[in-house]
């Protein structure tokens, strides 16, 4: 009976140690950080200094989605073409790897070049396309 209770307590302690302690520690760190920033702002206000506004996020690259799309198309074309070549040549799995990997990397490189050619005339990638 006593061993059964000790086994249950051991399980509960193990679960709490694995889950509750990391969560509690994370919450403690976040709360301390927020409180210290609040105290710092309040001290600046007491001294008559207007605290700077929160820094806004930098403008994102508007061509990120285009780049990701072009790269995905390049990878897909490389895989499709290399798998067709492997199937037509009736290569084994080991031999097919040496066709699929280089072809995928080749088309990935071609996709990067295509993306560069699409956006090379833009002065700043953050500007809108006219």
Full-model pTM: 0.49
pLDDT-derived band of residue 27, with 50, 70 and 90 as boundaries? Answer: very high
Q: What pLDDT, in 10s, does the model give residues 59-105? A: 777 788 889 999 999 999 999 999 999 999 999 988 999 999 999 99
Q: What is the mean pLDDT of residues 4-24?
A: 85
First to last CA, the chain: 79
- C-alpha atoms less than 13 angstroms from C-alpha of 94 in its C-beta half-sphere: 0
Q: What pLDDT, in 10s, does the model give residues 32-60? A: 999 998 898 888 889 888 877 776 677 77
- Positive or negative CA dihedral for 45, 51, 53, 58? negative
């Amino acid at each position: 009976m006593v061993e059964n209770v000790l086994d249950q307590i051991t399980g509960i302690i193990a679960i709490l140690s694995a889950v509750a302690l990391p969560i509690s520690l994370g919450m403690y760190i976040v709360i301390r950080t927020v409180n210290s920033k609040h105290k710092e702002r309040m001290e600046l206000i007491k001294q008559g200094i207007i605290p700077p506004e929160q820094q806004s996020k930098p403008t994102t690259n508007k061509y990120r989605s285009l780049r990701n799309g072009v790269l995905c198309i390049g990878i897909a074309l490389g895989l499709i073409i290399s798998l067709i070549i492997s199937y037509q040549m009736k290569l084994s799995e080991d031999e097919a790897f040496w066709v699929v990997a280089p072809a995928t990397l080749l088309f990935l490189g071609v996709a990067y070049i295509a993306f560069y050619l699409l956006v090379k005339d833009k002065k700043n990638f953050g500007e809108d396309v006219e």
